[in-house]
Each structure stands twice: as structure tokens, then as C-alpha cells.
Structure 1
Amino acid sequence: MSLNSEDIERIAHLARLELKPLERERLLAQINGFFDIVEQMRAVDTKGVEPLTHPVAALMDVHLRLREDAVSETNQREANQQSAPAVERGLFLVPKVIE
């Protein structure tokens, strides 16, 4: 996949960017370079390759340091909801925005 100058103009318009001609050319080259890298990555056969838990796991054994899931603060729901305009059964009430 590659983009052309019309695509760059459309993207700039959607992003509300005002690009000079030289900036458009540079951006076009950078984006197309990115797509070239993606195509090279897609061409690599990865069947049978296990995903890594961490990028460094390919070089050394990595143990994830996970903390114990424990409560560290008291429940302050009522205090936090005092400034809310509407609360019902411990939940914030908000206006319906989607029909």
C-alpha cells in the first residue's frame, strides 16, 4: 500500500493541518516508508513462533515483578460522591446522550 499526494492533502484536511508543498512531500515519503516497513514485516513467516511476554525475553529470562493485589486505601465512596449532582445506590447518574 502506498499513498499519493491527494491522500496526503485529504489527511491534512481531516487533521486541520496546513502543510506547505515541501512538508507534503516529506510527509508522503515518511508515510510510504512506514508502509514499506509494514510490508516487509508481513512477508516474514512467523508460524510456530511463540509470542514474547516482554521484548527482552528473547535475550534473557525475564520474570515479571507483579505486586500482590491488596487493598491499600479505605473506601471513600461517599466522600468522593458528595460533589456529584446526582447519585443513586452508590453510582454516579449522568444524562443519557445516546438514544
Structure 2
Amino acid sequence: MKRWLWSGAPWCYPRTPNPYPTWSSCAPYRERDPLPEDVLLLVEVSETTLVQDRTLKLPLYQQAGLPEVWIVNLLEEVLEVYAFPHYLPKRHAKGEKWPPRPSPPGP
């Protein structure tokens, strides 16, 4: 399935401020910002924004039902992986390989 990489632009989620992630991998869409159901993987690269990304943005992503969120924690040099529905953190050391969850089949 074709995917788009969306960098530094908001995705639309009704009733909340639209967060601006570092990157997101989205299913193709036209003439609008991506909706939560378009986002397959969202990535935040965090150093000075780590607390904000965990406490403000992550709950919005979970509420929206995003399937997977990665926080690249530059302070501790780890990848934090949060997966729907529980968003329990899994931490992976620098250099450890970690693939994203498989994407749903496309048309």
C-alpha cells in the first residue's frame, strides 16, 4: 500500500488543538490534513519537548486511536514505542532495531 511521509504538519482531530508531530506516515489523502484514521505511524523527536510530548500530545494520540507512536528520546538515547490501545511504553536502546507494526492491507 502506498504511504506518504508527512513532516511537521498537523493532523485533524476534532475538539482538540491539532498537534504538530515531527513525522507521520499516512495513507494517501487529498486536499486536507490527514485524519487520525489516515495516520499509520507518528514520530516525535524529543529533547526539549519530551515532557510536553509525553504528557500533552501522547494522550491526544491515544484518544484519537493512532495505531503506533514513537518518541525518539534524545536525552536518554532510547526509542519509546507506544501502541494502541493501551499505549504502554516499550523502550529500545540506541542501535536496537525495531520495525513499525505491519500496515493494514491496502487496495
What TM-score bracket applies, with the shorter chain setting the length?
under 0.3
The two structures have a TM-score, normalised by structure 2, of 0.17
The two structures have a TM-score, normalised by structure 1, of 0.18
Higher share in strand = 2
Higher share in helix = 1
The higher relative CO (CA closer than 8 Å, separation ≥ 6) is in: 2
